[in-house]
């Protein structure tokens, strides 16, 4: 395959940045998208040019690092992570536009690399549980109905890639935050901080500069792990319940 790559190049957070075109030939349809970028970077390095900087880690679709906006969609044309996207999804001679996430709370560090530490601060605000120290309890010591366990595990699948923010016209982090609130609110272990968790994590989300949710559903449609927007409804209930309880104290 022969491709034209329109890639966003930006030296640092203060640089204006812009698109630069690259011609790349000999691309195998069996390559992953990141392997294709590796080939491009090898060519750039051989020419003495600065390689394209992009985030990646596991390359197995489980870490969320490979956050790229490809042809106007988070992670590209398939509902998957960028590292699991293969070049067979594109056509010979195609022009592919590659950008970083566009959100106030995700400042560009260089080229395609954005600072997504805002997600870390949201989790730090309340994404934990209080447990007694000592020996590890047996797995079946606390009975949990299967339906509840399944919902909690579905929410826990969120890998924090930020595709929901990138897909949302308001750059909202409601799907991410609600998934982190839900996975603990549903389980017995998460009941101690249940109310304060919702308040603190929502407050931190707002403080980071993420937009509001207007229920367009774009976040769910683009989420590589299929996190449901029902978690947003659950988080709203958790939050309003916590606020009402705080006011009545």
Q: Tell me the average pLDDT of the chain.
A: 95
Domain boundary among 110, 135, 168: 110
Q: Is it the case that residue 132 has pLDDT exceeding 80?
A: no
pLDDT in tens, 46-57: 999 999 999 999
Q: What is the CATH number of the domain that holds 63?
A: 3.10.20.30
Name 24's bridge partners. 3
Domain boundary among 110, 126, 152: 110
pLDDT in tens, 147-184: 999 999 999 999 999 999 999 999 999 999 999 999 99
In percent, the amount of the chain with pLDDT more than 90 equals 91
pLDDT in tens, 103-112: 999 999 999 9
**Do 89 and 42 belong to one domain?**
yes
* Strand pairing report for 95-99 and 3-9: parallel
Tell how many helices (H) and how many strands (E) occur in the chain: 8, 7
- Look at the chain and report how many structural domains it folds into: 2
Is the full-model pTM beyond 0.85? yes
Contact predicate 212/158, CB 8 Å: no
Residues of the domain holding 196: 117-248
Q: What is the CATH number of the domain that holds 239?
A: 1.10.1060.10
**Do 185 and 64 belong to one domain?**
no
Domain boundary among 91, 110, 129: 110
**Do 129 and 16 belong to one domain?**
no
Q: State the Cα–Cα distance between residues 87 and 156, nearest whole angstrom.
A: 29
């Amino acid at each position: 395959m022969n491709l034209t790559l329109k890639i966003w190049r930006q030296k640092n957070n203060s640089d204006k940045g812009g698109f630069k075109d690259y011609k790349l030939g000999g691309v195998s349809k069996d390559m992953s998208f990141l392997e294709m970028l590796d080939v491009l970077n090898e060519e750039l390095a051989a020419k003495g040019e600065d390689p394209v900087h992009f985030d990646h880690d596991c390359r197995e679709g489980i870490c969320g690092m490979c956050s790229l906006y490809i042809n106007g969609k988070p992670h590209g044309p398939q509902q998957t992570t960028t590292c699991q996207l293969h070049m067979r999804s594109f056509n010979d001679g195609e022009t592919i536009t590659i950008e970083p996430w566009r959100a106030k709370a995700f400042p560009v560090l260089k080229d395609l690399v954005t600072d997504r530490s805002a997600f870390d601060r949201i989790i730090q605000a309340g994404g934990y549980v209080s447990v007694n120290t000592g020996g590890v309890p047996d797995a079946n010591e606390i009975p949990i109905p299967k339906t509840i366990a399944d919902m909690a595990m579905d929410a826990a699948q969120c890998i924090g890639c930020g595709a929901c923010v990138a897909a949302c016209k308001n750059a909202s982090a409601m799907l991410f935050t609600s998934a982190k609130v839900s996975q603990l609110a549903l389980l017995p272990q998460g009941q101690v901080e249940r109310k304060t968790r919702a308040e603190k994590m929502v407050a931190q989300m707002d403080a980071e500069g993420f937009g509001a949710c207007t229920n367009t559903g774009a976040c769910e449609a683009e989420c590589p792990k299929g996190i449901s927007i029902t978690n947003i409804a659950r988080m709203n209930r958790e939050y309003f319940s916590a606020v009402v309880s705080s006011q009545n104290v």
